[in-house]
Amino acid sequence: PLQPLWAKPVPKSSGVSQRKKREPELASSLIKKVFSHYVKMPVTRDAFRIVQKCSERYFKQLSSDLEAYSQHAGRRTVELADLEVLMRRQGLVTDKMPLHVLIERHLPLEYRKLLIPVAVSGNKIIPCK
């Protein structure tokens, strides 16, 4: 005789995801584009892999330094002053080369407008602090 088929009970998951959480990273195409722009010569794949690893380590160190600066100041957010102090320590920002000059040289206009205050009609300053 035929016996009825019973559905097997589905084991309940413990609520923990099986996937490993991946750390956020810069797109490899962005790193490749920026690096090849400044190198101005052909670069091998192995060299790009090394550049990608170096940029990951650099940004991890950068973020941990900025976190330490903001915690030392008793804040929970990173501010522009923290970034400027870090860039001074790295030697990127000096008295002869202020942060605004670096912004003007290396960032496109839409980002410059967001970072550098500009007076517009009606004597308004954009971006507001």
pLDDT value for 8:
72
For residue 92, give Cα distances in angstroms to 2, 56, 95, 106.
Answer: 81, 19, 10, 13
pLDDT tens digits, one per residue of 100-121:
899 888 888 888 888 877 766 6
Q: Where are the CATH 1.10.20.10 domain residues in the chain? A: 25-93
* Per-residue pLDDT reduced to its tens digit, 30-85: 889 889 888 999 889 999 999 999 999 999 999 999 999 999 999 999 998 899 99
The CATH architecture one would assign to domain 25-93 is Orthogonal Bundle (1.10)
What is the per-residue pLDDT for 87? 93
